[in-house]
Structure 1
Amino acid sequence: MNEYELTVYEEVEEWKRKIMRRSGMMNRLSKKAQGKINEFIPEKVHEVMTESIKAMVKATLFGSQVTTNMDQARGMTLAERDDLARKKISTFQKTAIIEGAGTGAGGILLGLADFPLLLTIKMKYLFETAAVYGFDTKNYDERLFILHVFQLAFSSDEIRKNTLYEIENWETRKQALVEMDWRQFQQEYRDYIDLVKMLQLVPGIGAFVGAYANNNLLKHLGETAMNAFRLRILQKAPEL
C-alpha cells in the first residue's frame, strides 16, 4: 500500500468499528415498536409490499445501469476516485434535498410519491459510485453488491453486522448469494425511514423535514458506499 492507501485503510477500519457499534436507545426502542406493528400487519400485506419493493428496485437498477457511464473514472488513482466520489455525494444530496422539499410541501399525495423518487435517487447514486471505483454493474454480482451496500446503510444492528460480513468477504461469499432476501430488504428499509417520512407528511413542516431527512439519508448512504468500495479496492492492494 502507498501512503494514501494507508490513510484510507485507517478510515475504513474506523468506519467498520462504527458500523459494529450498538445503536442508541431511541433507535432500538423505535425498531422494537416497529417490529410489534409489523406483527399485526397481515401476511398478505407483507407479501404485496415485498413484491412491490422488489419490482420497484429492479426497475430502478435497470434504469440506472442504462444511464451510468462506466468509463468515467478510467485510469484514476484511489485519491482521484475518492475526490470524484465526494463530488457525486454532494450532487445527489442537492437532488435529494430538492425532491424532499418538493414532496414534503405537497401534502400527503406528493409525500407518498417521495418513497419511489428517493429510492431512485439512491440507487442511481450507488451505480455512479460503483463506476467511480471501477466496478462494472453490467455484472450481476456487482448489482447484487450494490443492494448489499444499500442494506448495510439502512438496517438494524443485527442485519447491519451480517451484511458487513458479506461485504468484507464478498469475493468468497458472492457465489452463494444468488438473490436478495427481499422481505428482509423492504422491511428493514421501511422501518429505518418510517418515522422521519411520517413527519414529512405533517403540514407546515413537511418541506423542511423532507429536505433535512433526504440530505442526511444521502450523506449516510454516501459514507457507506464509499467505504464499502474502498474496502474492496484495499483488499486487492499489495501490502508494504
Structure 2
Amino acid sequence: MQFEKQQQAFRDSKPSLIGRGFEKFTNPVASAVTSFIPSGLVKGVLSGIDRAIGAPQLVKFDHDLTDLVQCHDAAKTVERTAKAVSGSTGAASGLGGIATMGLDIPATIAVALRNIRDTGRAYGYDGKGARERLFRLQILELASLNDRSQRQERIAVLENGIDTDGNLTEISPDEIEPIIEQAVERVSRALALALFRRRVGAVVPIVGSVIGGAVNVSFQGDIGEAARYAFQERRLRAAKP
C-alpha cells in the first residue's frame, strides 16, 4: 500500500462532493435554519471532548499495531461503523423535520469525536492529554471545512504540529488551554456551517429522513478520512530513519 501517495492525495483533494453540493444549495437560507439551533449547542459538545475518551469504542481491535496496513484497515472499519451509527440517527431525526433536526447535531458530533479517537487508537495513539485533545480538534475542524484555501491552511498547521518522530510538538501547560479554547471557538463555527447548511433540506418531515441520513454518512466519511490522514502522517514520520 502506497501510503505517501495517499497522504499527498488527501492534501490535494477537494472537500467532499456532498458537502460542496449541500453548501451551494443551502447558502441562501442557511442563516434562517441556524436560528433554530440553540445558542452554544456545538460549543457545549466540543467543550466536553474529553468525555469521548471514556465512551465505548466503536470497534474492538485485535490487529497488529506494528503493521501499518492492518492499522489502516482497522481505521477504515472505524469509519464504516461511525457511518452506520450516525446514518441511522440522522435518518430517524429527519422524520420530524426541523422539530427534531437540532437534536441530531450533538449526537453527530459525539460520534465524530469517537470516530477520531478510535482512528487514533487503530494507529496506536490513545489520545490522552491536552496536546492530543488539541490534535483531535484540529482533525475535526479540517473535516468540517468546505473552503479549499482554509483547508490547505489547516493541513499545514496540523502537519507543523507533528514532530519528526511522529509525536506532537510540545506546548507548555500555560499555553495549551488558551489555544484549545480558541480551537473550540473556531471548530464550533466550522461545524455550524458544515452541519447546519447541509441539513437545510431536512426541515421537511419524511424527506428530511433521507437527507439527514445521507448528510451524517457523508460527514462521518469526511471525519474518517481526515483522521486517517492525520494519524497515518504521525506513523509515517515515526518510521523514517
Q: How would you bin the TM-score normalised by the shorter chain?
A: 0.7 to 0.9
Alignment of 1:64 with 2:55, yes or no, is no
Q: Offset at 1:194?
A: 2.4
What letter matches 1:13 in structure 2? Q
Q: 1:152 aligns with which of 115, 133, 142?
A: 142
CA distance 1:145–1:174, change in 2 (3 Å): farther
The match for 1:44 is none
Contact 1:104 1:208 in 2 (8 A): yes
The match for 2:166 is none
Alignment of 1:149-228 (within 5 A): 149-155=139-145, 156-171=147-162, 175=171, 178-179=179-180, 180-228=182-230
In 2, distance between residues paired with 1:62 and 1:200?
30
Q: Offset at 1:168?
A: 1.1
Please give the secondary structure, in 2, of the residue aligned with 1:141: helix
Structure 1, residues 150-180: CA drift from partner, whole Å, max 9, x if none?
1001123333222101111113666276323
CA distance 1:158–1:210, change in 2 (3 Å): same
Alignment of 1:38-57 (within 5 A): 49=39, 51-57=40-46
Contact 1:101 1:210 in 2 (8 A): yes
The match for 1:18 is 13
Contact 2:117 2:126 in 1 (8 A): no
Q: Offset at 1:32?
A: 7.5
TM-score by length of 1: 0.79
Contact 2:137 2:183 in 1 (8 A): no
Q: Offset at 1:97?
A: 1.1
Q: Offset at 1:31?
A: 9.2
* Higher share of residues assigned helix: 1
In 2, distance between residues paired with 1:105 and 1:151?
28
Contact 1:68 1:128 in 2 (8 A): no
Structure 1, residues 61-97: CA drift from partner, whole Å, max 9, x if none?
232111356x945644111111111111111111111
TM-score by length of 2: 0.79
Contact 1:154 1:189 in 2 (8 A): yes
Contact 1:97 1:215 in 2 (8 A): yes
Q: Offset at 1:27?
A: 7.7
Contact 1:19 1:161 in 2 (8 A): no
Q: Offset at 1:219?
A: 1.2
Q: Offset at 1:110?
A: 1.8
In 1, distance between residues paired with 2:212 and 2:103?
12
Please give the secondary structure, in 1, of the residue aligned with 2:105: helix
Q: What is the RMSD of the two structures over their aligned residues, measured on CA atoms?
A: 3.2
